[in-house]
Amino acid sequence: MSQATIIDGKAAAAAVIDTVKAGAAALEARTGVRPGLAVVIVGEDPASQVYVASKGRMAEACGFKSVKHALPADTAQAELAALVASLNADPTIHGILLQLPLPKPLDPLPIIATIAPEKDVDGLNEVNAGRVALGDFGRAFVPCTPAGSMVLIRSAMPDLRGRHAVVVGRSNLVGKPIAALLLAADCTVTIAHSRTRDLPALCRTADVLVAAVGRPEMVKADWVKPGAVVIDVGINRVPAPEKGEGKTRLVGDVDLDGARANAAAVTPVPGGVGPMTIAMLMENTLVAATRAAG
């Protein structure tokens, strides 16, 4: 069997960004409203620092107002809530992103719940999660990674009706909303998790296999049904002694080389879902600004 197509997340993201840039310029010309994105980061987590920097750069490239609030790791819950309240009240800010994970003992859920739903461009608060669960996509902000994953899935398998989709992972951030989107696309959806029995056999029944687990290269070649579309959401840093002592590299939750032998199309890590996540954040921010402008 021929090798699977590698789904180019960078190219797909670049196309979304081009559309967002044009949309932002048109919105500002028409209404004077310039989309504004505020990113809040607490503590020094190195991976989060990298993500926040790239989100800020991309927001600027899109012509947005981009604001970063970096708070120390010992920030009190009330202080963080006060910052979110001030951003909720700021008419120049249309999107608020709270970078996760938060350092302990901060509890993300009560803070996320205070983000105004119309500025919750990460789609994580209960209003938007509820709208996604209800299939009310016209008013929801769909979380960025699931939204981006769907674009990539559709690019590889335009007709999803009746397909069996298996989503491995049931987090609020990724697994559950991807499952809701696949269901809305008329897939038959199975959600798997750490207690699922005989996961390899279940995965072998998937026309669309989404891995959102956080375990390096867990999904092996023989878990993949011939002709499946495989979406690898995982981002895992593993030792790479071949690059030198102490060096690391990024891998996904899927054994990419193995999966390529069976799948019709797979996303690489890096260069697959990751770039789409940032692109969808920009799209959601533009949507938020457009709604705010009436």
Known binding-site residues equal: 169-171, 235
Residue closer to ligand NDP by CB (options 35, 146) is 146
Using CB atoms, what's the residue nearest to ligand NDP?
Answer: 171
Residue closer to ligand NDP by CB (options 23, 177) is 177
- Catalytic annotation, pick one of 55, 119, 176, 225: 55
Distances in Å between the alpha carbon of 155 and those of 64, 119, 203, 264, 267? 28, 28, 21, 12, 11
Residue closer to ligand NDP by CB (options 92, 172) is 172
- Catalytic annotation, pick one of 120, 122, 207, 232: 122
99 is catalytic: yes
User: What minimum distance in Å lies between the beta carbon of 181 and ligand NDP?
Assistant: 14
User: What minimum distance in Å lies between the beta carbon of 275 and ligand NDP?
Assistant: 8
Residue closer to ligand NDP by CB (options 27, 228) is 228
Q: Which residues bind ligand NDP (CB under 6 A)?
A: 145, 168-171, 173-175, 192-196, 199, 212-215, 233-236, 273-274, 277
Q: Which residues pair with 166 in a beta bridge?
A: 190, 209
Distance CA 58, CA 278 (A): 8
Residue closer to ligand NDP by CB (options 27, 281) is 281
User: What minimum distance in Å lies between the beta carbon of 57 and ligand NDP?
Assistant: 16
- Catalytic annotation, pick one of 3, 10, 18, 99: 99
Alpha carbon of residue 154 to chain centroid: 16
Annotated binding-site ranges for NADP(+): 169-171, 235
User: What minimum distance in Å lies between the beta carbon of 171 and ligand NDP?
Assistant: 3
User: What minimum distance in Å lies between the beta carbon of 16 and ligand NDP?
Assistant: 14
Residues taking part in catalysis: 55, 99, 122
